Chains A and B, each alone.
Chain A
Amino acid sequence: AQSVTQLDSHVSVSEGTPVLLRCNYSSSYSPSLFWYVQHPNKGLQLLLKYTSAATLVKGINGFEAEFKKSETSFHLTKPSAHMSDAAEYFCACSGGYQKVTFGTGTKLQVIP
């Protein structure tokens, strides 16, 4: 069994300040972890994924995430928020041929 918890349903940051979106997972297998971004009425776009290689994963648009097995976390960060980053972000987990499980999402608001 696996599950994904996104602790914050809504995060608000000022433009130019750092972004931190939290994700914790639970998996019986060595998981693959993903972050997706969804803009309004759009499908999901993959930001980055961890698949048991380097624990610090760099993605598109300046985002990165660090896999911490001891904390079962895969938090998403960006040093400086841009207005275009405002969207919904989903953390997801898969492992052991199981289906992908999504978290409930975090809505990021960027204040000018």
Chain B
Amino acid sequence: GAVVSQHPSRVICKSGTSVKIECRSLDFQATTMFWYRQFPKQSLMLMATSNEGSKATYEQGVEKDKFLINHASLTLSTLTVTSAHPEDSSFYICSARPAGAQETQYFGPGTRLLVL
């Protein structure tokens, strides 16, 4: 149990286009989902926290208009990278926290974004 999926697993896009990444909790309801970014050989950096039905909370330095997050249901959150630039190329990982579980997060397999 406690499986989180991400789609797509890998995406290549042209500079200036927008890319949507989906994060789904497959067998549990997630009131909170987290989006992380990981640069090569570095740790995960939290970008934003999304709660179902409300606006996401962004970490300092993360542009909310560039990284649009929608947590429309208890099993789905989406991250849209708008007007992507090459410096947005990174590994994006989501995690989902089950309802009522304060400390637990289950991570998705990640999405590799390459912006040309």
Contact = CB atoms under 8 A, between A and B. Distances in A.
Interface in B94-111: 95, 102-103, 105-110
Interface string B78-116: 000000000000010101000000110111111010000
Q: In the complex, which range does the number of interface residues on chain B fall in?
A: 20 to 34
A103 B108 CA distance: 19
Contact of A44 (B41, B44, B102): B44
Interface in A78-111: 90, 94, 97, 99-100, 102-105
B22 to A, nearest CB: 14
Given A43-B93, A45-B107, A105-B43, A99 B112 contact: no
Interface in B1-41: 4, 6, 34, 41
A40 to B, nearest CB: 10
Interface string B35-57: 00000011110100100000000
A70 interface: no
Interface residues of A, number: 19
A104 B38 CA distance: 11
A106 B89 CA distance: 23
Q: Which 5 residue pairs of A and B lie closest in terms of their CB atoms, listed nearest first?
A: A43-B109, A44-B107, A43-B107, A102-B43, A32-B103
